[in-house]
């Protein structure tokens, strides 16, 4: 007997709790929300035609799904390790014949809305038990996490000879490449495996794009040396057809005159051209008269994305949301009260407001809606603005932890659904250490008490925030790397390119390959 609960949603809609339903079921297997989308490219833009979200909760009763066999002792048998009785979906012995599918293999699409249904049949021979128990498992233990296997009937009585196995692959936290897996189906008498067979599964990655949020202050915006961008064909900052961005508005009073502008979609991006090729400076809007951007500085975002292409077959979208000279702390130079990164209002008089956090959530939501993409990570570089005030520095660890939790929780669900949202969601949060550089314009060392406290917090981020890591930038300063605009608070172009590579290494190091 099997219970199936289907819950559908659209992006941004509040999900109702399934707890009252799930609580009535004996065993629950959750398949993460999936999406179906059709994309086409025109002049580097991706337009979403259809996005459909589906959350399916499969709850099995009376062993509708088994991946192990009770062998009479305390340790169940892992079906993936059993010797096979047959291959290509067929197996037979003196008691039983088992047929899974048609022997041609299975093609499985990551994130497909509908499961693949594979017919299973048995033929009893002399001495076969009246009741046959069916079990299934992915042979490779490291590839089981996102795969749901469900039988229409896992226990075949004396008069029953067929069942259907449904397979569905949820979108993983880390992008996958085309790959193969092996499905093992076993027939048993409930205690002893009688025979088993293997069938190949060909897995195709989701076509939904990967989305990365860029947040922080000037070093995430990119304040490299004047005229340091090298964006001609073949140069390190050249655009890539598969890397795009939200076409954001500039960080200035013409777009953000009031607090309400920070959550107004029309103030946050160019509504008539929401998506463009990713070009440095990422935080500048696309100039249609130039067919590009006139700015000549870079940051770490584009070099990060170029390396991230190695791990995905999908396009990548960057969401620029940083603002120079900002933090959790109030700044006399801030053009608007409340211009800060706090996730919630604060009573501490040294701290600023929530406007930049609000804007980051808004921009991420816009990007997810426009692209139908999957939020794959959050990149943060900030701390200098909280290093001038000891009260701010002492609150930095708590404020940073709250920010990471709030972004993971309050950015709208994507095709992975609500299981990929929450304080401990598997969306990596990567930070970078502060510059320790010096040149003829000044020396940043030694750090004062407040700045050292902020930098120590960044270095210790893995102990503060789940699924987080730090990029160490101590060596990305003179003499090996030039400093950037204004002073050595800012990194130079060569350093930003290397920093982007390190952000990529950090984010991939947090999530195992699937």
Report how far Cα 450 is from the mean position of its chain's Cα atoms: 33
- Residue 34 CA to residue 110 CA, distance in Å, equals 8
Mean pLDDT of residues grouped by 10 in the chain (514 residues)? 33 34 32 34 35 34 41 45 74 93 92 96 92 95 94 96 97 96 94 90 97 98 97 98 98 94 97 98 96 97 97 97 97 91 96 98 98 98 96 97 98 97 98 97 95 98 98 98 97 98 97 85
- Residue 333 CA to residue 338 CA, distance in Å, equals 12
What is the model's pLDDT at position 190? 84
Residues 191 and 338 in one domain: no
Residues 303 and 172 in one domain: no
Task: To the nearest 10°, report the CA torsion of 384, 389, 392, 395.
Answer: 100
State how beta strands 210-216 and 275-277 pair.
unpaired
Alpha-helical (H) ranges within 154-231 are 218-221
Pick the last residue of a domain from 172, 204, 236: 204
State how beta strands 116-124 and 193-204 pair.
unpaired
Residues 200 and 214 in one domain: no
- CA neighbor of 208 nearest in space, from 301, 311, 273, 111: 111
Contact 132, 74 (CB under 8 A): no
- φ, ψ for residue 322 (rounded to 5)? -85, 165
Residues 183 and 241 in one domain: no
Contact 196, 462 (CB under 8 A): no
Pick the last residue of a domain from 144, 173, 204: 204
What is the model's pLDDT at position 80? 54
Residue 396 belongs to domain spanning? 210-510
Residues 232 and 147 in one domain: no
Residues 232 and 362 in one domain: yes
Token readout for 325 is 């000279």
Residues 157 and 276 in one domain: no
Beta bridge partners of 351: 329
Residues 170 and 220 in one domain: no
Beta-carbon contacts of residue 78 (< 8 Å; ≥ 6 apart) = 67, 68, 137, 141
Residues 67 and 30 in one domain: yes
- CA neighbor of 124 nearest in space, from 84, 90, 94, 89: 94
Contact 101, 87 (CB under 8 A): no
Domain count, the chain: 2
- Cα atoms in the 13 Å half-sphere on the side-chain side of 167: 30
What is the model's pLDDT at position 512? 86
- Inter-helix orientation angle 493-510/301-308, to 10°: 40
State how beta strands 106-109 and 193-204 pair.
parallel
Three-state DSSP class for 502? helix
- Inter-helix orientation angle 396-410/355-371, to 10°: 30
Three-state DSSP class for 150? strand
Residues 87 and 102 in one domain: yes
- Domain CATH number, residue 49: 2.60.40.10
Pick the last residue of a domain from 204, 237, 257: 204
Record the pTM: 0.85
CA distances from 507 to 173, 174, 304, 405 (A): 11, 9, 10, 17
What is the model's pLDDT at position 126? 87
Residues 125 and 274 in one domain: no
Report how far Cα 376 is from the mean position of its chain's Cα atoms: 2
- Domain CATH number, residue 260: 3.40.50.1110
Residues 239 and 376 in one domain: yes
């Amino acid at each position: 007997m099997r219970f199936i609960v289907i819950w559908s949603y659209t992006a941004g809609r509040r999900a109702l709790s399934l707890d009252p339903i799930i609580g009535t079921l004996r065993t629950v297997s959750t398949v993460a929300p999936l999406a179906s989308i059709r994309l086409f490219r025109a002049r580097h833009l991706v337009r979403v035609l259809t996005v459909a979200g589906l959350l399916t909760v499969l709850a099995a009763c009376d062993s509708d799904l088994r991946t192990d066999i009770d062998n009479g002792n305390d340790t169940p048998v892992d079906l993936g390790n059993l010797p096979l009785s047959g291959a290509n979906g067929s197996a037979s012995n003196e008691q039983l014949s088992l047929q899974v599918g048609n022997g041609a293999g299975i093609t499985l699409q990551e994130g497909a809305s509908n499961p693949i249904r594979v017919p299973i049949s048995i033929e009893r021979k002399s001495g076969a038990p009246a009741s046959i128990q069916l079990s299934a498992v992915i042979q490779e233990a490291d590839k089981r996490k996102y795969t749901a296997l469900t039988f229409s009937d896992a226990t075949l009585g004396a008069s029953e000879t067929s069942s259907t196995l449904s397979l569905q692959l949820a979108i993983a936290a880390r992008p996958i490449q085309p790959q193969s897996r092996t499905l093992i189906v076993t027939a048993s008498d409930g205690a002893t495996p009688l025979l088993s067979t293997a069938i190949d599964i060909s897995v195709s990655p989701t076509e939904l794009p990967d989305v990365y949020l860029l947040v922080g202050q000037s070093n995430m915006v990119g304040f490299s040396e004047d005229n340091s961008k090298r964006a001609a064909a073949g140069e390190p900052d050249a655009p890539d057809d598969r890397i795009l961005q939200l076409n954001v508005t500039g960080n200035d009073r013409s777009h953000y005159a009031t607090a309400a502008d920070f959550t107004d979609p029309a103030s946050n991006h160019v509504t008539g051209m929401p998506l463009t090729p990713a070009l440095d400076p990422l935080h500048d809007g696309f100039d249609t008269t130039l067919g590009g951007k006139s700015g000549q500085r870079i940051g770490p975002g584009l070099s990060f994305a170029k390396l991230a292409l190695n791990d995905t077959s999908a396009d990548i979208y960057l969401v620029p949301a940083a603002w120079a000279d900002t933090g959790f702390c109030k700044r006399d130079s801030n053009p608007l009260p409340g211009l800060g990164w706090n996730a919630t209002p604060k009573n501490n008089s040294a701290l600023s407001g929530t406007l930049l956090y609000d804007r980051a959530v808004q921009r991420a939501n816009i990007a997810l809606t426009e692209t139908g993409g999957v939020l794959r990570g959050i990149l943060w570089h900030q701390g200098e603005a909280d290093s001038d005030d000891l009260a701010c520095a002492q609150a930095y660890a708590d404020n940073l932890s709250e920010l990471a939790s709030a972004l993971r929780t309050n950015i709208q669900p994507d095709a992975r659904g609500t299981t990929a949202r929450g304080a401990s969601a598997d969306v990596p949060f990567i930070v970078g250490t502060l510059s320790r550089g010096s040149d003829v314009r000044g020396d940043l060392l030694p750090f004062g008490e407040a700045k050292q406290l902020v930098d120590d917090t960044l270095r210790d981020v893995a102990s503060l925030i789940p699924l987080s890591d730090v990029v160490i930038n101590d060596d990305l300063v003179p003499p090996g790397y030039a400093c950037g605009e204004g002073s050595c608070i800012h990194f130079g172009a060569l350093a930003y390119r290397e920093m982007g590579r390190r952000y990529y290494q950090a984010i991939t190091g947090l999530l195992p390959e699937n």
